[in-house]
Structure 1
Amino acid sequence: MKKLLLSSAIAGLVSLGLGQAQARDFADIYTECGLGAMIAPNNAAVAAVTNVTWDLGTTAISSNVSSPDTCRGGQAKTAAFIFKSYEQLEADIAKGQGSYLAQLVELTGADDEAQFIAQLRKAFADLASGNDYAEMNRFDKAQALYEMVQKASA
């Protein structure tokens, strides 16, 4: 209940128009960026509530600042795919092949498929071998994988 009240309060403040950040309204940042946009790319209300509830919108704001091109657009498809098929992607990345990994490569439009997969496998192995990986929830894992995909496809 506290989270819902906090979410409502912050969402209310955001909707009052707290200003702009890099020519994008905060309301747009909360609906088009971060974890919320990954989970609910077609539902602005769910995206905003998710961003506010999850981390008070920190990832939404930081993704707007660090990589504004990932907010909305084609990246939302990639993010949604990663979230929905995380377990299958995890297995395919570990093997270095598979239908889910192939679809991920296609979604990103990576120029050099072999290089993309190699970079992704290395980054994923580093993450999975870390002590905190077992403690991460699905959202954190999906977000980490999404960030790896963005770096590998850049």
Structure 2
Amino acid sequence: MKKIIASIAVALTFSFAASAQEVKVNPWQDCGIGAMIFPDNGVAAAISNVIWDLGTTAVTSASASEDSCNSTRVQTAQFINETYNNLEDELVRGEGVHITAMLNLMSCDAASHAETSATIRSEFADQLLGSADQTTVKAERLFNIAETATANCSAS
């Protein structure tokens, strides 16, 4: 029992540390059996993975098979991380194909794009424009802004 509790604590520590540093796949939250059972609850996924086999399957699946971690949320985070500079330029301009792709990845209906994009653009200007943070930190913050803004989008 102590091993399970210690493993859960380690998994949650890595989960929070990963989200504080950069947008990347967190094997305990985004992979393995836990992510399949709890796709929208990272903490429950991490706990499930640790209880199942101390997180071994989740960590192995993250390193051996990227497809096992390809949730839409992970794909969107990777897209934002990889195209952050393009997204930044387009947010300053107010439009662009990368913004559209990001909104589509987040299941935002095309009819909601203009309003949602304006919300993201406003928050981006308030929180990120001119920031000296590393690109990965800014990408994570943009992901969080976009995730909040798209919460009320109509699903396509």
Q: Please classify the TM superposition score into its range, dividing by the shorter chain length.
A: 0.5 to 0.7
Quote how far apart the aligned CAs of 1:101 are: 1.0
Aligned to 1:56: none
Give 2:145's match in structure 1, choosing from 122, 127, 148: 148
Q: Deviations over 1:37-88 (max 9, x none)?
A: 83246xx49x9xxxxxxxxxxxxxxx946xx9xx973111110101111101
Describe the shift of the 1:129–1:37 C-alpha distance in structure 2 as closer, same or farther (beyond 3 A): closer
Matches within 5 A, 1:1-154: 16-18=3-5, 27=11, 30=14, 34=19, 38-40=23-25, 44=27, 64=42, 73-111=71-109, 112-129=112-129, 133-134=131-132, 136-154=133-151
Count residues with an aligned counterpart.
111
Structure 2 unaligned runs (5+)?
31-40, 47-68, 152-156
Structure 1 unaligned runs (5+)?
1-15, 48-62
Aligned to 2:64: none
Contact persistence 1:37–1:72 (CA under 8 A)? no
TM-score of the pair, normalised by structure 1: 0.57
RMSD over aligned Cα atoms: 3.7
Matches of 2:96 and 2:5 in 1, distance apart?
Answer: 45
Describe the shift of the 1:87–1:93 C-alpha distance in structure 2 as closer, same or farther (beyond 3 A): same
Amino acid at match of 1:100: H
Matches of 1:26 and 1:150 in 2, distance apart?
Answer: 26
Matches of 2:20 and 2:101 in 1, distance apart?
Answer: 21
Aligned to 2:54: none
TM-score of the pair, normalised by structure 2: 0.56
Identity %: 24
